[in-house]
Amino acid sequence: MKFDVELVGKIGSMALIDKQDNMIDYTRVARLSRELRPGYIWVSSGATEIGRLDYIMRAGKELPDTEEAKADYAAQGQAILMQTYRQYVDSKYSVRQILVEHHHFNDPVKSGVIRDLLLRCRRQNAIPIINYNDAVSQSENRRMEISALSKSQAVVHECIDNDETASLVACLVKAETLLILTSVDGIYADPHDPSTLIEEIAGKDAHELVENIEYYKSCCEGASRKGANGAKAKLEYVKEAAAQGTRVLIANAKYSIRAILSGEVKCTRICIR
């Protein structure tokens, strides 16, 4: 198939945070940012956690654990996240923030607008940075909207996880590669046993590939950290992109994009042979 975009990449919140110092891992962000170029679309989690840490640093305490606090943290963190990417992305490239919500992918007209916007970025020497718009998306309203949509649509996208968002974007723009960066080396049959890394899931066609993804979903249990959706969710989210012919790589954010794409480091590769 013909691909319109080279790469859709996504990095998770925990892969962006220096756990020891409770702040952005600036070394990692700088390294990855310097590899971004037109033809790449970057989906970045982290705004809410970065905003929370920044608020604690300035106020000396956390906000009460409410939906409103998450929105406040996200609004604070978005500014820092984009400032950081702009600081380290090559100055000859433009950087554009694109905030999305679930209804953008459940409406063909809105998804078409986003697709056109993303494809213009390459022609205009720009790198789009995508994140879910947590600052204005309240979970109760989102659940009501998703429930209403499910009555009239066979497939409804929720997008509360940026793994899903990245996969939907990869489908939307027909990406050659979908790269999911995490804090571990890929998908494990047992998240607590590094020797169980699943290095390849493949099939001779889309049907066989989806069958094999489903098989490995049944083998995967648990998550690598509290609150994570785990391996099963990642495999479910990337299934549609892989079935359309996009090569999916789930890898550790400690490695460079170049090293992952070239096969120099271990990761989980999902593709049609």
pLDDT digits (tens, 9 = 90+) for 208-253: 999 999 999 887 765 444 434 578 889 999 999 999 999 999 999 9
The whole-number pLDDT of residue 229 equals 52
Confidence of residue 192 (pLDDT cuts 50, 70, 90): confident
Higher pLDDT, 159 or 131: 131
Report whether pLDDT(185) > 90.
yes
The whole-number pLDDT of residue 2 equals 84
Q: What angle do CA 29, 34, 37 make, to 5 degrees?
A: 120
Selection from 153, 66, 57 nearest residue 111 by Cα:
153
Report whether pLDDT(146) > 60.
no
The whole-number pLDDT of residue 165 equals 93
The whole-number pLDDT of residue 228 equals 46
Asked if 235 contacts 216 with a C-beta cutoff of 8 angstroms, the reply is: yes
The Cα 5–Cα 119 span in angstroms is: 8
SS3 label, residue 244: coil
Asked if 253 contacts 11 with a C-beta cutoff of 8 angstroms, the reply is: yes
Confidence of residue 80 (pLDDT cuts 50, 70, 90): very high
Report whether pLDDT(33) > 80.
yes
Compute the radius of gyration of the chain from its Cα atoms. 18
Task: Indicate the DSSP class of residue 35.
Answer: T
Tokens of 249: 């790589």
| Average pLDDT score over residue span 76-100 | 96
- Domain boundaries defined on the chain: 5-272
The Cα 263–Cα 192 span in angstroms is: 24
What are the start-end ranges of the H helices in the chain? 13-16, 26-33, 47-59, 67-88, 102-106, 108-123, 139-150, 162-173, 206-219, 230-243, 257-262
| Average pLDDT score over residue span 120-131 | 97
Q: What is the pLDDT of residues 3-23, one digit of tens each?
A: 999 999 999 998 999 988 888
The whole-number pLDDT of residue 157 equals 60
The Cα 167–Cα 73 span in angstroms is: 25
Which class is 5-272 in CATH?
Answer: alpha beta
For the whole prediction, is pTM greater than 0.85?
Answer: yes
